[in-house]
Structure 1
Amino acid sequence: MRRFAFVTLDVFAERRFGGNQLAVFPDARGLTDAEMQALANEFNLSETTFVLPPEDPANSARVRIFNRTSEMDFAGHPNVGTGYVLADRAVDGVLRFEERAGLVEVRLERDAAGRLLGATIGAPQPLRIGPEVPVELAAACAGIGPEGILTARHQPVMASDGGNPRLLLEVTEAAMAAAVPDLAAFHRALAAVPALGGRLSLYLYRQEGAGLRARMFSPLAGTWEDAATGSAATPLAGFLLHLSGAAEGAWEITQGVEMGRPSLLRASARRSAEGRIFARVGGGCVPVLRGEAEL
């Protein structure tokens, strides 16, 4: 019998049982790809991470990220949470993770007394703006009427920066509250827009006071709704900077409220001298469980 230690924690959380849940296997040596996928499905969380030795010893680790159904190139809260778990490997407060999307830098956050609070990550690639999706089709996916999508600033549009592309929708307050993903509409959207490449996740957002309120739906990947989505917050921050034309910007994003798992994501973006836009996202982490998986 083989045993593999794991920990779980709540990410982008200010308290336990908030934020987005994550399972981390700090030493995944000996696990096969199929076993990693099976464990991720068994945990039934939006993502589970598996830590392996880095290919380049100058880096901290190689990190593989699995959702319930497949391996991911990059994701936000898994990097923040894995960085928190591997804090003892940091050099000058920084870890570097090798991932399918590229090298991810994780910067630890501590309070004045040195207590570890969480981490901030940089998206591994610059903002990429993808195809637009018709308003009526996007609204159907979110289970709202077309009038619930605001188009004064932009149409429903795909954006990414190293992870799964997200369909960004600016919505009204009423639409944000009423949204429920429609799985059949998701499949219709994939058939109608081949440029989506068979993948579709919705990131609904709206202005709320000085910050933003968001919800994320990814039912095709097994996540009906996500409590906190760092890999959606970074392309959103980058896209908002793109719209503004500014050199840099920062946003606090509240997510997960409708699920009873309130989350706070601190996102920022900057424009490089070459005009490319890079984004970061950070937040707190709270440990929850420790245990072993037997295989």
Structure 2
Amino acid sequence: MHRFTQVDVFTDELFLGNPVAVVHDADDLTDAQMAAVASWTNLSETTFLLRPTQPGADYRLRIFTPRRELPFAGHPTLGSARAWLEAGGVPDDASGPVQECGAGLVRVRSAERLSFEAPPLVRSGPVDAADLAVLTDGLGVDDVVDAAWVDNGPGWVALLLRDAATVLALEPDLRALAEHELSHAVGVVGPHLAGSDAAFEVRAFVPAMGVGEDPVTGSLNAGLAQWLVPAGHAPSSYVAAQGTALGRRGRIHVDHAGDTVHVGGDTVVGVAGTIAVRAQNGGPSPA
């Protein structure tokens, strides 16, 4: 029997963010069992808290989509940190816990709201013309202001469109996008009009991971900030909206200072209980 927490991330009101399922004290679970739990929850990500193996880490996190494991993801990082703290975790550093994951050590700040320090990009730079043509065809858009790789693990490539209305109007061909390896994680962003409560509207399409459109995405927003701010497309601090097209109200708080980007948001615990993972078949069941 394992403690189980489900946390809604990037929202201050339950049901309006992006939920992550968190299984605590998961050192005894096999890879197959973790994958089975992630498939069963059918959320964009399910995470597993384990004992750390690296000096300086408070815990180790493994992150699974319904189809594969990820080295890093943003909303699971914040939601898992909230679950760990709610379970009585006490970080060595008073500023917040340090998470060990496939991307290395990720620092989480506990201030007005939880925020993580964005890991470095593993791929950056412009998107070549042939790849961009695949993306614009799949998204059904031909007016792209700029495009770049902003990959910090999940494979993000991003397109900047002329405005938020264009982003919200997209009706992508998710099947076509899923057929192309380069576009298994596609982010689009466009500026809101002055006076809006958010500077940008963001959407994330990840059909190859079994998700389709992700409601609110920390890793994408981290990568976007590492591109948009240095390129002069965004101020050093801003709020992005995501999930609007899905009936959510995600708000991502970005702060770019020097070489460091922090991505934060509110978190709400929605479910707390236990889960039984049976060793004989790896299948989960609530308890």
Query: Shorter-chain TM-score: which interval?
Result: 0.7 to 0.9
Determine the C-alpha separation between the residues in 2 that align with 1:70 and 1:187. 15
Counterpart for residue 94 of structure 1: 96
Q: Deviations over 1:89-131 (max 9, x none)?
A: 2231311111111100011124xxxxxxx41001222574145
Q: Name the count of aligned residue pairs.
A: 266
1:25-69: per-residue Cα shift (whole Å, max 9, x none)?
A: 121121101100110110001111100111135320011111111
Query: 2 CA distance for matches of 1:184 and 1:74?
Result: 25
Contact persistence 1:132–1:158 (CA under 8 A)? yes
1:164 matched to which residue of 2?
154
What is aligned with 2:25?
Answer: 27
Q: 2: CA distance between counterparts of 1:238 and 1:103?
A: 18
Change (3 A) 1:187 1:94: closer
Percent identity of equivalent pairs: 31
Among 153, 170, 191, the residue aligned to 1:207:
191
1:145 is aligned, of 132, 141, 148, to 141
Trace 1:251-270 onto structure 2 (pairs within 5 A): 251-270=238-257
Q: Distance in 1 between matches of 2:122 and 2:54?
A: 26
The Cα shift of 1:223 comes to 1.2
Q: Which residue of 2 aligns with 1:121?
A: 116
CA RMSD of aligned residues (A): 2.1
Is residue 2:82 matched to residue 1:84? yes
CA distance in 1, matches of 2:159, 2:233: 19
Check 1:31–1:281 CA distance in 2 against 1; reply closer, same or farther (3 A cut). Answer: same
Q: State the TM-score, normalized to the length of structure 2.
A: 0.85
1:292 to 271, 274, 280: 274
How far is the alpha carbon of 1:158 from its aligned partner? 1.5
1:58 aligns with 2:48: no
* Structure 2: distance between partners of 1:58 and 1:71: 23
Q: Distance in 2 between matches of 1:205 and 1:14?
A: 22
- CA spacing shift, 1:185–1:98, aligned 2, 3 Å: same
For 2:274 and 2:61, the matched residues in 1 are separated by: 19
How far residue 184 of structure 1 moved from its aligned partner, in angstroms, is: 3.7
Deviation per residue, 1:219-255 (Å, 9 max, x gap): 1101111111010001101101221299x81121000
SS in structure 2 at match of 1:86: helix
Counting only pairs closer than 5 Å after superposition, residues 179-218 of structure 1 correspond to structure 2 as: 179-187=170-178, 189-190=180-181, 196=182, 200-209=184-193, 211-218=199-206
- CA positional deviation for 1:177: 2.5
Q: Which residue of 2 aligns with 1:275?
A: none
CA gap 1:251/1:165 in 2 versus in 1, 3 angstroms: farther
Structure 1: runs of 5 or more not aligned: 111-117, 191-195, 273-277
Residues 1:219 and 2:219 are matched in the alignment: no
Question: What is the Cα deviation at residue 159 of structure 1?
Answer: 1.3
Are the counterparts in 2 of residues 237 and 250 from structure 1 also a CA contact under 8 Å?
no
Query: Contact 1:23/1:47 (CA < 8 Å) preserved in 2?
Result: yes
Per-residue CA deviations over 1:126-183 (Å, capped at 9, x if unaligned) read 57414515443212222x231xx332xx2x32212x3223121122444322223323
Q: Distance in 1 between matches of 2:168 and 2:54?
A: 46
Deviation at 1:188, TM superposition (A): 5.1
Give the aligned residue type for 2:238: W
